[in-house]
């Protein structure tokens, strides 16, 4: 499998979909998005023997349109990180599951944004996510 992960229906049609809708709003307002997504944990298997993850995560780096993207990332760059339980919980509010990039790195073993200068990398990986910081007034 590629570009997919097993998700419960409630996650896929609820919190995850609402986050994707929010990503579209950001793109429509003119932002450029760098998106990483994945999952971790779990031992339960489907009948097709696919492991069902315990959590699904996403990291969204948000930049205003421009060029030389790597040079435009600063300590003030907005980033959203979420780690959602892959359960049948009925909550559709993805903001209840915000995290930090650092927490997702710890859980997954990945090292995001390693091409950035250390000071900038540390700043964006440890800042809390905020939906309202990235939405501009219409």
- The residue-averaged pLDDT of 14-27 equals 94
CB 60 within 8 A of CB 34: yes
Torsions phi, psi for 20 (to 5 deg): -65, -40
Q: Read off the pLDDT of residues 37-94 as tens digits, 9 standing for 90 and up.
A: 999 987 677 777 777 889 999 999 999 888 988 889 999 999 999 999 998 877 889 9
Q: What is the pTM of this model?
A: 0.88
Burial label for 10, CB within 10 Å (0-12, 13-18, 19+), is middle
Q: Which residue bears the tokens 């440890």? A: 126
Range of lowest pLDDT (22-36, 42-56, 91-105): 42-56
Helix 101-108 and helix 118-126: axis angle, to 10°? 90
């Amino acid at each position: 499998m590629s570009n997919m992960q097993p998700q419960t229906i409630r996650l896929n049609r609820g919190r995850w979909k609402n986050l994707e809708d929010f990503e579209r709003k950001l793109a429509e307002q003119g932002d450029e998005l760098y998106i990483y997504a994945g999952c971790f944990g779990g031992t339960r298997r489907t009948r097709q023997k696919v492991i069902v993850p315990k959590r699904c995560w996403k990291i969204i780096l948000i930049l205003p349109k421009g060029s030389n993207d790597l040079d435009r990332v600063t300590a003030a760059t907005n980033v959203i990180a979420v780690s959602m339980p892959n359960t049948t919980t009925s909550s559709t509010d993805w903001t209840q599951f915000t995290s930090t990039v650092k927490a997702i790195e710890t859980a997954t073993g990945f090292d995001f944004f390693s091409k950035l200068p250390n000071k900038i990398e540390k700043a964006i990986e440890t800042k809390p996510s905020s939906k309202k910081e990235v939405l501009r007034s219409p």
